[in-house]
Amino acid sequence: MGNYKNIIKKLLALLLLLFISVIAVLNLLAADHSFSDSENRMLQQLPHFSLKALPSGDFTADFEKYISDQFVFRDFWIGAKTDTDRLMGKKESNGVYLGADGYLIQKFIPPAEEDLKEKIDAIHAFDQVTPELQKYVMLVPTAVALYKDMLPKYAIIGDQEAYLKKVQQLLHHDIRFIEVFPSLYAERDQPVFYKTDHHWTTQGAYVAYLELCKQMGLTPQKEKEFNIRQVTDEFYGSLFSKSGFRHVQPDRIELYLPKDQEEYTVTYVDEGRITDSLYAMEQLQEKDKYALFLNGNHALIQIKTANTNGRKLLIVKDSYANSLIPFLLKHFSEIHVVDLRYYEEDLISFVNEQGIQDMLLLYNANTFFEDPSIKYLAE
């Protein structure tokens, strides 16, 4: 009996060693990825080693993030861990809560005061050098602010709404702040946010569009002027992948297609590609189905419409804007779309060269408070 137990122990140890070795080899052979479609974020790359970074701990911290982000079969391991945690009653994973009614809700982490000040200063600096440009700021609350009652009882979250109001107070009065929280909250019983993804739905974007029209003096298109078309009911979004929570229902994606459709052209400047549609329908076959709106994120997109009013709009944005932009085609001759995370040119010169009259800065709250690229708006 003793020999049998020893054989079992050695066999288990051998299998464990074999498993670790196979995983290690696969990690060495697997190519690094720069972007995660499932989590909709950039992945940590292999950090550059330096003697200066070693004592400070920067290198080891970055290397740990690199190992975590590039670990082979990462999504599978996240799912396995989360299933185990869920069986034990845990309802939080990787910064995402499993809420009531199948909602996956991302945490809000309050920004550092100095970081927020730098971003406001950058907006003001840009405002000073472009005085002829009428500016509007729309910071969209995420689901964590609207669905607090759906969070687990122990959930610890920051007061996102309070920080949005703080931004509104800090901005100069000539910069118009588009407050969309009340309108979205009033429609919270409708599907204004996806359950498995961090974005708002097309219906949520439409609610915000109505508020934007009030501030910009535009006559909004009524909902009855659109054919609302469901293009998929099998959308598992970024929070589904990030959290690893499984056994939740997928979302559906709807498009608001104008009944009175006008022609327009969409130019993806860096790629040198021109199309006549705002929708990349082929993305419905991919993991990140939300990328069907404007084919995802790009440094610069220029849209020319059939409108002859000569009004030109600059949108500085994150991916939340992608599903709102289609509503604006009726109101402008040209729409220039800039994503500062990828745009490397002089934005001030671009505004002057194009003769743009209006600017909309549109971000969801998490991206605005977390993404550093906004600090370089006026550079």
Mean pLDDT of 247-271: 94
Q: Residue 249 has what DSSP assignment? A: P
The residues with which 314 forms a beta bridge, in sequence order, are: 336, 359
Mean pLDDT of 70-78: 64
Q: How far apart are the first and last CA of the chain?
A: 75
Amino acid at 346: D
Mean pLDDT of 154-161: 88
**Which range, 36-40, 258-262, 266-270, is most confident?**
266-270
Give φ, ψ of 335 to 5 degrees.
-130, 120
pLDDT tens digits for 302-312? 999 999 999 99
Distance CA 36, CA 43 (A): 6
Give me the chain's average pLDDT, please: 89
What pLDDT is recorded for position 5? 74
Global pTM reads 0.82
What pLDDT is recorded for position 155? 87
The mean-pLDDT minimum among 32-46, 178-192, 253-267 falls in: 32-46
Residue 251 has pLDDT above 90, yes or no: yes
> Per-domain residue ranges for the chain?
2-102, 109-376
Distance CA 290, CA 274 (A): 20
Amino acid at 20: I
Mean pLDDT of 104-116: 95
Following DSSP, what letter does each residue of 143-189 receive, concatenated? HHHH-GGGS-TT-----HHHHHHHHHHHS-TTSEE---HHHHHHTTT
CB within 8 Å of 2: residues ≥ 6 apart: none
pLDDT band at 18 (very low <50, low <70, confident <90, very high): confident
| 41-42 and 104-106 beta bridge pairing | unpaired
Residue 51: how many CA atoms within 13 Å on its side-chain side?
Answer: 0
pLDDT band at 201 (very low <50, low <70, confident <90, very high): very high
The structure tokens 């849209």 sit at 303
What pLDDT is recorded for position 3? 73
